[in-house]
């Protein structure tokens, strides 16, 4: 087991666990945490002992999103650690399972769109990008309308309305709701089940499921990140973040 910058990583029976553990800040993610998660994913691609990835927070919270202080210190001329993580998730060839509890905000929701299976307890989901003076990220401007339709996407991405686990299931973001005490073990059982499948067939199936929109989604992610970076530097966004 390794623990770096509030990211806890370990392997168990073919499953790579990546745990977000910064409970005192509601698992808000810093640049160092993004980098640790990206490194764990990148290293695991060539590790034949790893069949599946399980990403989770604590029992109380998945993630409150990006640490807002990191926005202020970000080098806008370089790919952000958050962007690098989103690319890693988008292109990751092995199954990813998520266990979610309590709160999933901003990139805490965007990440889930790139998982293959997501299980959640009662959770408040929210994508408050407009309220922060920025735009959707990580392909969410494509994926949310595809999953939920334009009007629901407008509620989530334009109004920034919060939604619960039942709504997330109806939108296609979450597979199943469980009690808070059960969600991690249930998600782990699904990850272990995937790890026992014939691996060539499993990886091929994931590739085929994503193939029809892989190029389009890559282009959308790239475009979103350019605009996101521009908006982040605006007076409007700076003022919005100071109010938070």
CA nearest neighbour of 70 among 55, 85, 59, 56: 85
The answer to whether the CB of 183 falls within 8 A of the CB of 100 is yes
126-139 pLDDT, tens per residue? 999 999 999 999 99
The answer to whether the CB of 45 falls within 8 A of the CB of 8 is no
170-213 pLDDT, tens per residue? 999 999 999 999 999 999 999 999 999 999 999 999 999 999 99
Locate the DSSP E strands across 178-216: none
d(CA 138, CA 219) in angstroms, rounded, equals: 10
Domain boundaries, the chain: 2-182
d(CA 59, CA 180) in angstroms, rounded, equals: 7
d(CA 122, CA 109) in angstroms, rounded, equals: 14
Element (H, E) at 145: helix 140-148
CATH, domain range 2-182: 3.90.226.10
137-172 pLDDT, tens per residue? 999 999 999 999 999 999 999 999 999 999 999 999
Q: What is the pLDDT of residue 3?
A: 62
């Amino acid at each position: 087991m390794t623990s770096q910058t509030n990211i806890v990583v370990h392997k168990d029976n073919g499953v790579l666990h990546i745990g977000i553990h910064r409970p005192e800040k509601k698992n808000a993610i810093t640049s160092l945490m993004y980098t640790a998660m990206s490194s764990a994913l990148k290293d695991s691609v060539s590790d034949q002992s790893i069949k599946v990835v399980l990403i989770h927070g604590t029992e109380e919270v998945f993630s409150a999103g990006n640490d807002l202080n990191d926005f202020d210190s970000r080098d806008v001329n370089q790919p952000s650690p958050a962007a690098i993580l989103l690319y890693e998730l988008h292109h990751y060839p092995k199954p990813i399972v998520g266990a979610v509890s309590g709160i999933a905000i901003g990139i805490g929701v965007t990440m889930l769109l790139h998982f293959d299976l997501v299980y959640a307890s009662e959770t408040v989901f929210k994508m408050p990008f407009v309220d922060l003076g920025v735009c959707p990220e990580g392909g969410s401007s494509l994926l949310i309308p595809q999953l939920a339709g334009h009007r629901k996407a407008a509620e989530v991405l334009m109004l920034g309305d919060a939604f619960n686990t039942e709504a997330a299931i109806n939108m296609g973001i979450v597979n199943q709701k469980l009690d808070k005490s059960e969600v991690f073990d249930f998600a782990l059982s699904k990850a272990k089940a995937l790890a026992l499948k014939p691996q060539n067939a499993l990886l091929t199936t994931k590739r085929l499921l994503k193939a029809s929109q892989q190029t389009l989604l890559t282009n959308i992610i790239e475009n979103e990140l350019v605009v996101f970076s521009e908006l982040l530097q605006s007076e409007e966004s700076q003022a919005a973040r100071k109010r938070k």
